Amino acid sequence: MIISDAANAREHYRIPAKIRVFFCQDSAEARSLMVSDYAIWASQPVEFPESAKQPLTDIGNVQQELKPLYAMMQWLNFKMDTVLYQLRVVSRSKVFTEHLLTSDLSVAGFAFGQKLNLALGSRLLLALHLPDEPVHPVYTVGVLVRDGMGCNDSPTPGAIVFEEISDADRERIARFAFSFERKLKNKQI
């Protein structure tokens, strides 16, 4: 019943986007990684408005003798963020070992063009990397509803329906879909 409801909602916000998705079988290790990554993102400060960022990055307001120290602190802050991001990518790549490219995406799931050697109904942990925020993946649990093979072995797109997804992540996908659709319409006009 969950799949049919999601399949009905599948048509809403559906866009022909090619998004990289990393996935693995549902496991305690993968769920632990998802939770720790979410904790890192939850601990990040809310995005500052430009007016608040200006004093933090404007070295002109700093006393002359403190400018070298301030510049070094900015550099270290950038390097620490880079190192932490790389550590997260390395730990994520050890667990999310498989990947695919979507052929279309919606807030209810996505289709893909390759054959997966998994049983229908398999629960997968997914990390979707949306182009507007590639360093902050959307983590979700999906169910394989089509494996990529149709009748008489004719290829049909495979499909995964989101089973567990936060409202915030569903909203991120919807925002991306609207933005993507707007860009497509602007190119066609």
pLDDT digits (tens, 9 = 90+) for 33-68: 888 777 776 666 555 444 444 455 566 677 888 888
List the Cα angle 131/46/163 in 5-degree steps: 55
Q: How far is CA 160 from the centre of its chain?
A: 15
Q: pLDDT digit of tens for each residue in the chain (189 aa)?
A: 344 444 444 445 678 889 999 999 888 888 888 887 777 766 665 554 444 444 555 666 778 888 888 878 877 777 777 777 777 777 778 888 898 999 999 999 999 988 888 899 999 999 998 888 767 888 899 999 988 765 555 567 889 999 999 898 999 999 998 888 888 888 764
Tokens representing 93 are: 């790549």
d(CA 6, CA 29): 27
Tokens representing 28 are: 């305690």
Residue with tokens 């993102």: 41
The DSSP H or E segment spanning 160 is strand 158-164
Of 64, 63, 13, 46, the C-alpha closest to 180 is 13
> DSSP alpha helices (H): ranges in the chain?
2-9, 28-43, 50-57, 67-95, 167-188
Q: Is the pTM above the cut of 0.85? A: no
Of 126, 122, 121, the C-alpha closest to 164 is 126
Residue with tokens 């902050």: 136
Of 126, 125, 117, 109, the C-alpha closest to 147 is 117
Residue 122 phi/psi, 5-degree rounding, is -60, 135
Predicted pLDDT at 65: 84
Predicted pLDDT at 143: 95
Predicted pLDDT at 154: 57
Residue 123 phi/psi, 5-degree rounding, is -90, 130
CB < 8 Å & 24+ apart, contacts of 8-12: 9/106, 9/107, 9/108, 10/106, 10/108, 10/109, 10/161, 11/106, 12/106, 12/107, 12/108
